[in-house]
Structure 1
Amino acid sequence: MSTLIAIAITTGILSGLWGWVAVSLGLLSWAGFLGCTTYFASPTDGLKGIGLSIATNLSGVFWAMVIIKLSSMVSLEIIGYVITAIVAFFMCAQAKKNWLNFIPGTFIGSCATFASNGNWQLVIPSLILGVVFAYAMKTSGLWLKEKLEADKLVEVRKN
C-alpha cells in the first residue's frame, strides 16, 4: 500500500470522526478542516508542524479582528480597504519570524475569522482541533503503512 492511500484511509475515517466531534462540541466543522488544511500544507511535520500551523492560524485570527475592528470605526468604505492593505502587509512581513513563517496559515486563520463574521471564540478551538486531527490523520496513516509492510514482510518470510 502506498503512503498516500494509507493516509487517505486514516484521513477519511478521522474526517468523519471530526465531523461528529465538531457537531457534538458546537464547533465549526469547516473551520476545523481549514486547520487540517494548514497542517497538511505546512512545510514542517510533527510537533513543529503543529506549532507552526496553530501559531500562524491564530495570528490570522488576530489580524482579521484588527481589520474588522478598525474598519468598523470608520465610515468611509475606502478606508476599510486601506486598513486591509496595511494589515495584509503585516500578515506577510511577520513571516520574518521563524514561528510565523508560513504565510498561508496566517491567511487561512484570517479567512476563517471573516467567514464566521468575526466569531473568533468559535474559530480558534475549531482551527486548533483541526490541526490536531490532521496530525492524527497523517501519523496514523504512516503507522498503518508501516504496520501493513511489516505484516507483509512476516508473511513473505513464512513462505
Structure 2
Amino acid sequence: MSPLIAISITTGILSGIWGWTAMSLGLLSWAGFLGCTSYFASPKDGVKGLAQSLLTNMSGVVWAIVIIEGSSLFNMEIVGYIMTALVSFFMCVQAKREWLGYIPGTFIGACATFAANGAWQLVIPSLILGGVFGYLMKASGLWLHRQLTAPSSTEFANE
C-alpha cells in the first residue's frame, strides 16, 4: 500500500471523527478543516510543521481582529480597505521570523476569523484542534504504511 493510500484511509476516518468532535464541542468544523489543511500544506513536517502552522494561524486571528476592530473605529468604508492593505503588508513582513515564516498559515487564520464574523473564541480552538487532527491524520497514515510494508519475521526466517 502506498503512503498516499494509507494517509487517505486515516484521513477519511479521522475526518469523520473530527466532524463529530466539532459538533459535540460546539466548534466550527470548517475552521478545523482549515487548521488541518494548514498543517498538510506546511513546508515543515511533523511537530515543527504543526507548531509553525498553528502559530501562524493564531497570528492571522490576531491580525484579523486588528482589521475588524480598527475598521470599526471609523464610520468610513475606505478605512477598512486601508486597514486591510496595511495589515496584509505586516502579515507578510512577519515572515522574516522563522516561526512566522509560513505566510499561507497566517492568511488561513485571518480568513477563518473573517468567515466567522470575528468570533475568535470559536475560531481559535477549532483551528488548533483541526491542526492536531491534521497532524494525526498524516502521522497515523505513515504509521499504517510502515506497518503494512514492514517485512514480516517469517520472511527473514526463510532467507
TM-score (ref. length: structure 2) = 0.96
Q: Does 1:93 align with 2:93?
A: yes
Alignment of 1:131-142 (within 5 A): 131-142=131-142
Moved over 6 A (4+): none
Aligned-residue Cα RMSD (Å) equals 1.2
Alignment of 1:88-127 (within 5 A): 88-127=88-127
Equivalent position amino acid for 1:142 in 2: L
Tell me what 1:149 maps to.
Answer: 149
Question: CA–CA distance in 2 between the matches of 1:93 and 1:156?
Answer: 56
Alignment of 1:1-159 (within 5 A): 1-150=1-150, 153-154=151-152, 157=155
Question: CA–CA distance in 1 between the matches of 2:63 and 2:55?
Answer: 12
Deviation at 1:21, TM superposition (A): 0.3
Aligned residues: 157
SS of the aligned residue for 2:44 comes to coil
Equivalent position amino acid for 2:93 in 1: A
- The Cα offsets for residues 53-108 of structure 1, whole Å up to 9 and x where unpaired, read as 11000000000000000001111111110110000000000000000000000000
Question: CA–CA distance in 1 between the matches of 2:126 and 2:79?
Answer: 31
| Runs of 5+ consecutive residues of structure 1 not aligned to the other structure | none
Identity across the alignment (%):
69
Question: CA–CA distance in 1 between the matches of 2:129 and 2:53?
Answer: 11
| Runs of 5+ consecutive residues of structure 2 not aligned to the other structure | none
Deviation at 1:38, TM superposition (A): 0.4
